[in-house]
Structure 1
Amino acid sequence: MKKKTAYIIGNGPSLANENMSLLKDKITMSFNRAFIAYEDWGFDPTYYLAIDGNTMRGMHKDVNELIDKSNIERFFLLNIEDNPAHGYVDELFTKADNVTFITNSGTHVINDGTPPVTQAYEMDKNNVVLPVAPNSGMTGLAILRMLGYNEIAFIGQDARYIDDAIYRNGSIEKISREYRSSEDNDQNHFRSDYFGKGMIFGKPNQDDIINLWSTASPWIHEQS
């Protein structure tokens, strides 16, 4: 089988130590607020993914500008209209030929023994239906597999988080399980302004994310 390679660019602190120019001519996927670094990287990724409703609401104007002006070939954006508490997020985003909305076909159960990348899906140009894992890297892996990539590498996918309320010294406002930051002092991502001043984001869930990757690990190794 001919190799079809793609690179998933995570947003962990380790990404700050990487020479991103090496990926300029590669097939890549990035997530969420990674766009704050595209100019520094010197390229736009091939694919862009956003699945977190809190983050999506706070950055929808930026994403719409990317849809209109960037070189990104395709956007994958979670459609969460089935959750009234989050509003109708798909209506916040530009509907365009290069935008595919993701419909969650069911809550993915952590450690249920079935990696989401092996579960059934439906996909056309502007819509995809699949069980959405609560992690961009895992969902990105599933989508890239659907697109036919059979060699997928990760960079900056640290899967390690510190509860922001512990280290941000009073610069975090708690809103249920969500946080609002009043300063650019994010240590969980590759830039301090990633979830910086004015951003609303979900409370980190390191244990769940590690369990998720542990569940998928045997399947991932079988593909290599």
Structure 2
Amino acid sequence: MATEIRLMRIMFNKLFQSSLTDGDEASISMPSKRRIAKLEESVRKLEKEIQKRNEEISKLKYKSVLSDRTFESLFRGIYGRSLHDFAGRHAGERCFVVGNGPSLNKIDISRLRDEITLGANRAFIGFEKWGFSFDYWMVQDRILANQSADEFCDNLPKEMIKFIPYTILRHFDIARLDNVVPFNLDYTQQCSFSNDPSALHEGFTVTVGLLQVAAIMGFTKIVLVGVDHNYQIPKRNVNDDKKWSGEGLSNHFSEDYTNSKNGQVWEMPDIDRMIRAYEAAAVWARKNGIEIVNASPGTHLEAFPKVEFEGLFQS
């Protein structure tokens, strides 16, 4: 605030002095002096208004932090833990963030059985075939949660840690879901990256949410698999509400993934903002010495270095 006021005064003085020529100052008329006095009064009023606005912003920020802490305290009381409890849990380790793209069918996914894995959404339909489930799971999409909450409760393994935003917990019968970790998803912070357990940022894809959780947990090498970033959605599959059906499409590792036979619909992917969020993750990783690579065969995502999946394992 003090800096802003000083800059205003400097600008005012420079503007005033630049309008004077030699000898002008002594010949300033009384009307001119009155105008200058009014201008100075306007500057003082502006200073007061800026100070008032800054105080209001500070109060709002305080209320926001207080609200976040209140929610965290409330949900910790109910569920026994929060995202803060996972900070640094896997410091220095490697993990795999598993997307649900069709390229999963091009790798030997059994390689991940003994790795630390994070996945999302309806990935559970592959667990039986793969012979293992993920260590961590997340859902962020409110429409998906509304349609699939019962299915998640019935099919997600009890031992798997489940990260769910405060805002969509209401869709679940929590008595049927073990190992839930509620978290704050800040929808106002978009296409940026957070490694602060107080709040994840909106990345327009659950994969970015998983990357943030991986960063919070302290992983120093994060490998993406099944992150094809290639959405083929013809107009015939999009309804009047701009939701799409997966009927007849191959955007995921299983034709059953989109559950179109039961009428399930999905949010249209916001590709541009997804890319910006991925790029923000890449920038954060470079600045903090964290390696994020993409081992998804044929991926269209360019934000991270691409590597061969088999090359990640010792023979």
- Give TM class, smaller chain: 0.7 to 0.9
Seq. identity, %:
24
| Structure 1 vs Structure 2 CA RMSD | 2.3
Q: Which runs of 4+ in 1 moved over 6 A?
A: none
Larger radius of gyration: 2
Distance in 1, Cα, partners of 2:124 & 2:284:
30
What's 1:84 paired with?
none
Corresponding position: 1:137 with 2:202: no
For 1:97 and 1:72, how far apart are their aligned partners in 2?
A: 7
2:257 to 186, 189, 194: 194
The AA in structure 1 aligned to 2:204 is: P
Query: What is residue 290 of structure 2 aligned with on the other side?
Result: 223
Q: State the match for 1:150 in structure 2.
A: 220
Q: Which has the higher strand share?
A: 1
Q: From the superposition, tell whether residues 175 and 49 of structure 1 become closer, same or farther in structure 2 (CA, over 3 Å).
A: farther
Alpha-carbon distance, 1:71 to partner: 5.1
Aligned partner of 1:8 in structure 2 is 97
Is 2:167 aligned against 1:80?
yes
Equivalent positions of 1:73-152 (< 5 A) are 73-80=160-167, 89-95=169-175, 98-110=179-191, 115-118=192-195, 120-122=196-198, 129-152=199-222
Distance change >3 Å, CA 203–CA 218, structure 1 → 2: same
Say if 2:91 and 2:219, in contact at 8 Å, map to a contact too.
Answer: no
Q: TM-score, normalised by structure 2?
A: 0.57
Gaps of 5+ in 1: 82-88, 123-128
| TM-score of the superposed pair, with normalisation by structure 1 | 0.77
**Offset of residue 42 of structure 1:** 0.5
| Residues 212 and 130 (structure 1), Cα distance of their counterparts in 2 relative to 1, 3 Å cut | closer
8 Å CA contact retained: 2:200, 2:209 = no
Mean Cα deviation higher: 30-39 or 209-218: 209-218
Higher RCO (Cα < 8 Å, 6 or more apart): 1
Unpaired segments of 5 or more residues in structure 2? 1-89, 292-315
Relative to its length, the structure with more helix (as a share) is 2
How big is the shift at 1:94?
Answer: 1.6
Match of 1:42 among 109, 131, 141: 131
Matches within 5 A, 1:56-75: 56-67=145-156, 70=157, 72-75=159-162
Contact 2:118 2:210 in 1 (8 A): yes
Q: Distance in 2 between matches of 1:121 and 1:165?
A: 38
3-state SS in 1 of match to 2:239: strand
The answer (yes or no) to whether the contact 2:95–2:223 under 8 Å persists in 1 is yes
Q: How many residues align?
A: 197
Q: Which amino acid aligns with 1:149?
A: F
